[in-house]
Amino acid sequence: MKNLTAKKEGSQMEQVQEIASLRWCSQGSHVDDQVSTDLVLYSCPWKIKKKLQASDLGGLSRLLLPKNEVKNHIIPLMSDEWVGKIVSRDGMSVTVWDRDTDSYHALVLRYWQSSGCFVLNGHWIENFVLRRRLSLGDEIGLFWSRYDQKLYFSVLQRGQPREVNLCGAKFH
C-alpha cells in the first residue's frame, strides 16, 4: 500500500512541476512544446514598422524592408512557390492594400541576394511616396494577411511637419 501511495504522490508531483513550469514561459513563448497561458488583450497588427529614410523616398524607387521582420512575419505565411518567386530575379507581384485610403496597388516584393535585403518596388514612388505625400521620418506599418494574400499598409505616424509655400507665405 505504501508503494502505491508513493507512486501516486510521485505522479502528482510530476504534474504539479509540469504545470508550474508554464509560469516561467515568457510572454508569447513556448517551452518544450507547452503552450503559454499568458493572456494577450491586444496585439498590434503592424508586424513591420519602419521610419522612412531618404533612400526610401528617392530615385531608387524602392522601399527597403527590415530583413528579420520579413523573415519572421511574411515568409512563414507564404507557400514555398511564392518564396521561390520572391528570391528569383524578377521577384513576386503582390497586392498592397492601403488601409488609410482604402485603395489597392501592385508592387513587387523581392529579395536582393547581393545585399541580403528585401525590397518593395515597381511603382513604390508613384503609388505611395507621391500619392500619400510620404516624407522623411514618417512611420509606416505593414503586415501580410495569410487569409487574403495581401500586404496591408498604413501611415502610423507623420514625421517632420511639412512646410507648404503658397504665394510666398509659408505654412506648416
- Residue 81 sits at φ, ψ, to 5 deg, of -65, -45
Give the Cα separation of 48 and 157 in Å (integer): 14
Positive or negative torsion for Cα 8, 14, 18, 21: positive
Q: State pLDDT tens for residues 78-98.
A: 899 999 999 999 999 999 999
Q: State pLDDT tens for residues 81-140.
A: 999 999 999 999 999 999 999 999 999 999 988 888 899 999 999 999 999 999 999 999
What are 159's three cell numbers? 514625421
List 151's β-bridge partners, or say none.
96, 144
Give the Cα separation of 77 and 149 in Å (integer): 9
Please answer whether residues 25 and 31 qualify as being in contact, where contact means their C-beta atoms are separated by less than 8 angstroms.
yes
The reported pLDDT for the residue numbered 116 is 86
Ordered by where they begin, the domains of the chain are 1-41 (no CATH), 48-157 (2.40.330.10)
Who has greater pLDDT, 160 or 98?
98
**Reduced to 3 states, what is the DSSP secondary structure of residue 39?**
coil
Please answer whether residues 68 and 116 qualify as being in contact, where contact means their C-beta atoms are separated by less than 8 angstroms.
no
Q: State pLDDT tens for residues 12-47.
A: 556 545 544 443 443 444 445 566 676 666 667 778
The reported pLDDT for the residue numbered 95 is 96
Say which amino acid occupies 133: R
What's the whole-model pTM score?
A: 0.68
The reported pLDDT for the residue numbered 60 is 83
What are 76's three cell numbers? 512563414
